[in-house]
Structure 1
Amino acid sequence: MPPKAPLNWGLLPPSFLLPSSTRSLIPLIQQNATQVSRPAITYTSIRTIKSTFKPKPDRFAYNPSKPALNSTSTAALERKAHSTPLRTGLLANKKGMTAVYDSETGKRTACTVLQLDRNEVIAHKRRDKNGYWAVQIGAGQKEARNVTRPMLGHFAAAKVHPKRWMAEFKVRNEAGLQVAVGELVGANWFTPGQWVDVKAISRGMGFEGGMKRHGFSGQPASHGQSLMHRGMGSAGGSQGSGSRVLPGKRMAGNMGNESVTVKNLKVLQVDEKNGVVVVNGCVPGPKNQIIRVTDALGKPWPQGPMTTAEIAPPAAEVLTTSGSAEVAADATATTTA
């Protein structure tokens, strides 16, 4: 089909179609049109429903009363600074649960015994090189023949023995890197009375049903119910939910064996000689499970040590104290004689 000519609305028809009385007025109409030129007004009518809700502010919109938005890595670290610990955490082994009694009130408190096994600083992660601040901690011991050559070189650079477990603990700034590479950090890193967060892999329970995994009540245990007492029941509606099972439906499946964090556990006792830290409550994982112990994020930061020098006195002071004690003992023996 040939293309259709556009419709010229508002234009005069050809002169031969006009009556003779109107043809004489065409020059006057054209003259007035050239003298008076009005701007073209375009208006599009939109029919909508007026909402009674105020528009929500866009969190990415610029506001003069707020600082400019930044999308740099430095700005991201500043936003996370309030929830980043000031110092590193440590790795511990879960030895089991016991109970302690208060000598004054006689109250029994359930607790978990955690043992620290040769925690040493392996490396430091810096902002200019790695993009963040962190301390790499190694614990335990491993035979050199069971360690790959790249990892042997990594341990040799830190001048430490091969470690069985390794983990990184992020810190807020460079002040958290005051623990030097190769230093041994003991149980006195934590103080009695402070709050800690523990993180570990929970105990795996295999494939479990809905009652044990999600706490379902099961089907009625009365007359007429047969072989479905512990069944989960209907998994999805018909027409109301689209004749399908919605994503995320709680069903039977693998239970446990996932990362679990228990927050705000109180440190009850610390034994530096045996490397034992006793915390209040339960800790995820079976016995001999490796545990990440850090300062609690939901509590004020503890006034704990930032370096190992703040934990143990320097060797010079120890020698001076022992030397003065020997001199005092010799003076006492001479006086007695």
Structure 2
Amino acid sequence: MSGIIGKNFGMTSIYLDNGDNVACTIVKVNYCYVVQIKTLENDGYFSIQLGLDEKKIKKVSRPLLGHFKKSGISPKKKLLEFKNSSYTDFKLGDVIGVNFFNVGEIVDICGISKGKGFQGVVKRHNFSGVGERSHGQHNRLRSPGSIGAGSDPSRVFKGKKMAGRMGGKKVTIKNLVILKIDSKNNILVLNGSIPGNINSYLMIKKKKWNLKY
């Protein structure tokens, strides 16, 4: 299988064996359950669906409740699919934990970035603003400036960098190294930062090539 589900637990820093202090992110990897195994004959492709975190039965719809009963597990809050060709290694109801990974492995982290709301061009696109304040220009420091000619083309081209909603999008951070694994507390320590707020769900995917750091 290509990966499992985790949760953002926050950032810290650790010292490596050579004495370097490295910024890293802690990812909580609770036990994931195999909810569904999709095959080429039934679904047209191979994949494994994993579930994480318990959910109250009264908050689950009847069709989804029947979906969980097929695998013989209780309802889960988060369901994610991982495409995989060697699905025969797992069965319905199997439990997958942090030991799925090894120290030194390289992974990709996929999650929803923090939502920043409606932002201007300085914060959203790193604009510099119109310039220094001068006589009569007290509110132009963070202005976008001109957005195009008036007579021709008489419109704003699509994709023009302007103010708008920022964040809250699906983001993938590639090639992060697993620095430490705490099997007792189900924790992965990764170098660098990852998308999302604390306790947000993440998709942790192994690289296809077995290169280690």
> How far apart in 2 are the matches of 1:88 and 1:180?
15
Q: Would you say the 8 A contact 2:133–2:141 is kept in 1?
A: no
Task: Identify the residue that residue 149 of structure 1 maps to in structure 2.
Answer: 62
Matched, 1:187 2:98: yes
Query: How many Å separate the matches in 1 of 2:43 and 2:62?
Result: 23
Structure 2 residue 145 is matched with structure 1 residue 236: no
Greater Cα shift, 110-119 or 201-210: 110-119
Is 1:106 aligned with 2:26? no
Q: Which amino acid aligns with 1:296?
A: K
CA distance in 1, matches of 2:29, 2:75: 16
**Structure 2 unaligned regions, length at least 5:** none
Secondary structure of 2:76's aligned partner? coil
Aligned partner letter, 1:227: N
The yes-or-no answer on 1:256 pairing with 2:170 is no
Greater share of residues in helix: 1
Q: Which residue of 2 aligns with 1:283?
A: 194
Which whole-Å CA distance do the structure 2 matches of 1:200 and 1:149 have between them? 28
Equivalents in 2 of 1:296, 1:223: separation in Å?
54
The letter of the residue matching 1:146 is K
Alignment: residue pair count: 211
Corresponding residue number in structure 2 for 1:301: 210
Shift of the alpha carbon at 1:302?
Answer: 5.6
Letter of the 1:144 counterpart: I
Question: 126, 132, 135: which is aligned to 2:48?
Answer: 135
Amino acid at match of 1:99: S
From the two aligned structures, give the one with the greater strand fraction.
2
For residue 293 of structure 1, what is the amino acid of its counterpart? I
- 8 Å CA contact retained: 2:37, 2:87: no
Asked if 1:209 corresponds to 2:108, the answer is no
Q: Identity of counterpart residues, as a percentage?
A: 36
Corresponding residue of 1:66: none
Q: Could you tell me how far 1:237 is from its partner in structure 2? A: 1.7
Q: Find the counterpart in structure 1 of residue 81 from structure 2.
A: 168
**Residues 29 and 187, structure 2, Cα contact 8 Å, conserved in 1:** yes
CA contact (8 A) 1:199 1:293 kept: yes
CA contact (8 A) 1:97 1:110 kept: yes
- Report the TM-score when normalising by structure 2: 0.94
State the match for 1:62 in structure 2: none
Q: CA deviation at 1:191?
A: 0.5
What is the distance in 2 between the residues matched to 1:271 and 1:227?
52
CA distance in 2 between partners of 1:159 and 1:117 (Å): 19
Taking the aligned partners of 2:148 and 2:112, their CA distance within structure 1 comes to 32
Q: In structure 2, the residue corresponding to 1:145 is in which secondary structure?
A: helix
Secondary structure of the residue that 2:173 maps to in structure 1?
Answer: strand
RMSD of aligned alpha carbons: 1.5
Q: Does the 8 A contact of 2:26 with 2:189 survive in 1?
A: yes
- TM-score computed with the length of structure 1 as normaliser: 0.60
Return the index of the structure with the highest Cα Rg.
Answer: 1
Instruction: Tell me the CA shift for residue 101 of structure 1.
Output: 0.3
Aligned-partner SS, 2:65:
helix
- Distance in 2 of aligned mates of 1:274 and 1:282: 20
What letter is aligned with 1:268?
A: L
| 1:38-53 alignment, distance < 5 Å | none
1:265-305 residue CA offsets vs partner (Å, 9 max, x unmatched): 001111122111111100100100000000135xx2369xx
